[in-house]
Every structure is written in structure tokens, then in C-alpha cells.
Structure 1
Amino acid sequence: MVVDFSKSKSPPSPVCISGKDVEIVPSYRFLGVQLDNKLEWSTNTDAVYKKAMCRLYFLRRLGSFSVCSRILHMFYQSVMASTIFFAVVCWGAGIKAKDANRLNTLIKKAGSVVGCKIANLDEVVRDRMVLKLRTIMDNPSHPLHNTVDKLRSSFSNRLLQPCCSKERVSVIELCGVGASGFYAEDFSSEEAARPEPESNICEGIS
């Protein structure tokens, strides 16, 4: 697979390994994520949507047996949410609006079955990107630690957006979008990294 954003759409040169031509494909599955040559994530969204639809059916079947909301929410988090939000840090901020709406529609349907408010795609993407940014800032040996640390404002100590165009399309920029308006101390403190109690995750569960 070749990812090329240049203006000249010349065909890529053939690649040979051990005398055999390497086939060029428009999409490729890597570690459970569908990558396409335009990085639009539409192929991955289609695959996630199909899997989540199958699991939504089982969630509805479970709800038809008058199971309590806590069990339904546990089933959603274990079976359905794990499918929708797999590797969401990689693709969550880069998908198209129509693809995000498709997934949010599934999440909304699941919430109606569970009987409580469930975090949508944007909320989950933001929380997990902030968590990833905290991990980078708390680990001095991380390859991106020094790069992120240089983004601190000397005046307000806020995390600024990167100036380099290369970094703007990297995980630094994606995490920075979710972390906009936060101070650097908010990510490095143990109190900030502490997960929220389960009662705040799903409202209305008795």
C-alpha cells in the first residue's frame, strides 16, 4: 500500500523483493485496523460498523430477557464498545463526519437498550487521547516526550499546538486537539490520571 499526498499523481515505482513484485493494494489490514491509501478510515469504519451491528443484535436479545441495566452496560462495554473503540486513538480524530455519525448512531441505539446515557465517539476519543498524552508526558523515555514537553508555554504553561507541519498530522496534534485548554500539570498529576468512578460512566443505572 502506498500513501501519497503529492500533487503529481504519478504511478509509484514497482518494488521487487527476492525477484518478486510486491502487489500494491488500496487498503491493508494491520493489527486489526483497516488502513487505506488515503488515510480516510472509511474502510475501517465499514468493518467496525458491521461488527458492531452484529453485537448490537445480541445486546438487544439480552435486553429482551428483562436483564438489569448494570448487566446490559457490562455486556455493552465488554462486547460492543471494545469493538467500536478498538485503536480509536489512531483513527478517531481522522474519520469523516458521516462515518462518525454512523458509529454514534449505533452507540445511541445501544444506549436506548441499556437504558442510560453512553459516551459517544467524540467523548471517548478525547478521553483516550488525553490519557495517551499523559502517558507520553509521564514517561521520559518515550520517543515523543521531549517533543511534547517543548510545547509547554513559558507564560501560562499551557500545551500549545505544534508549529511544524509534520507534527500537525501526527499523534501530537491529534492529542493536542483533545487537550486544548489544559495545563501541563493536568496531565502529569496522579489525581488527573485517576479513572472516574463507575457511577459517572453510565448515568441512571440503579
Structure 2
Amino acid sequence: MVVDFRRAQSDHSLPFINESPVEIVKSTKFLGVHLAENFTWSLNTTSISKKAQQCLYVLWRLRKAYLPPPILTMFYRGTIESVLSSCITAWFGNCTVSDRKTLQRTVRTAEEIIGVSLPSITDMSH
């Protein structure tokens, strides 16, 4: 990914590593975080939300198996909250309001499934 802070856009020649051209991409995933060339975090938020939704289904199934709220909360903290808060200090400060609402919706859904109050996505970022 080429990062260029100049105001005037210009075409970049392909970089070479060991005499082989390197492909220029619009986004990449590095250490589990999706980085976009325009420095927005929507792609990262979408990815996190999808992972968390998959874990919410498992949480819902555990509740249907009549597990008590403390066990469900422990599952939430170990899976869903860890997905939501992965590298959160790097990306959360520059998320759009829409992205934050998307992630908070996941937390609210988990609260409804478990039946207890959980820390908000903003609280996780601090």
C-alpha cells in the first residue's frame, strides 16, 4: 500500500523488491487490522462486526442451553469483547459515528441475550 501525503495526486511507479514489482493495493490486513488507503476504518469495523456476529450466535445457543448469566458473561468477555477490542486504541478514535453504532449494536444484542449490563464500546476503548 502506498501512502502519499502530498496534496497533488500523482501516479506512482511500481515499487520493486529484489527486482520484482510489488502490487499496489487499496487495503491490506496487518496484525488483524484492516488498513485502507484513505485511512477510513469502515472495512475494519465491518470485519470486526462480522466476527462478533458469529460469536453472538454461539452465545445465543449457549443461552438456549440454559447456561447461567455468569458463564454467558465469561463467554462474552473471552470471545466477543476480545474481538471488539482488538487493537481498539489504534482505530477507535477515528471511527465514524455509524461505525461506532454498528459495534455498539453488537454489545446491546449481547446484553439482551445474557440479561446483564455490559461495558459500551466507548468504555472498552479507554
Q: Which TM-score applies when normalising by structure 2?
A: 0.94
Where do 5+ consecutive residues of structure 1 fail to align? 127-206
Deviations along 1:108-145, one digit per CA (max 9) or x if unpaired, are: 0001111111111111112xxxxxxxxxxxxxxxxxxx
RMSD of the TM alignment (CA)? 1.1
Q: Separation in 2 of the partners of 1:120 and 1:61?
A: 23
Extract unaligned runs of 5+ from structure 2.
Answer: none
Structure number with greater CO (CA < 8 Å, separation at least 6) is: 2
Question: Quick one: distance in 2 between partners of 1:11 and 1:115?
Answer: 54
Match of 1:87 in 2: 87
**Match of 1:117?**
117
Structure 1 contact 4–37 (Cα < 8 Å) conserved: no
Where 2:93 maps in the other structure, the secondary structure is coil
In 1, Cα distance between equivalents of 2:104 and 2:4:
30
Aligned mates of 2:105, 2:122 — CA distance in 1:
12
Question: Distance between the aligned counterparts of 2:29 and 2:5, measured in 1?
Answer: 20
- Counterpart in the other structure of 1:77: 77
Question: Residue 14 of structure 2 corresponds to which residue in structure 1?
Answer: 14
Q: How many residues align?
A: 126
Distance 1:39 1:65 in 2: 42
TM-fit CA distance, 1:95 = 1.2
Deviations 1:11-66 (A, max 9, x none): 22321112111110011111111111112111111111111110000001111122
The residue number in structure 2 matching 1:34 is 34
Whole-Å separation in 2 of the counterparts to 1:98 and 1:6:
28
3-state SS of 2:73 partner: helix
Aligned to 1:194: none
Match of 1:100 in 2: 100
Secondary structure of residue in 2 paired with 1:35: strand
Give the distance between the partners of 1:23 and 1:80, measured in 2 at CA: 34
Q: Percent identity, aligned pairs only?
A: 33
Offset of residue 72 of structure 1: 0.6
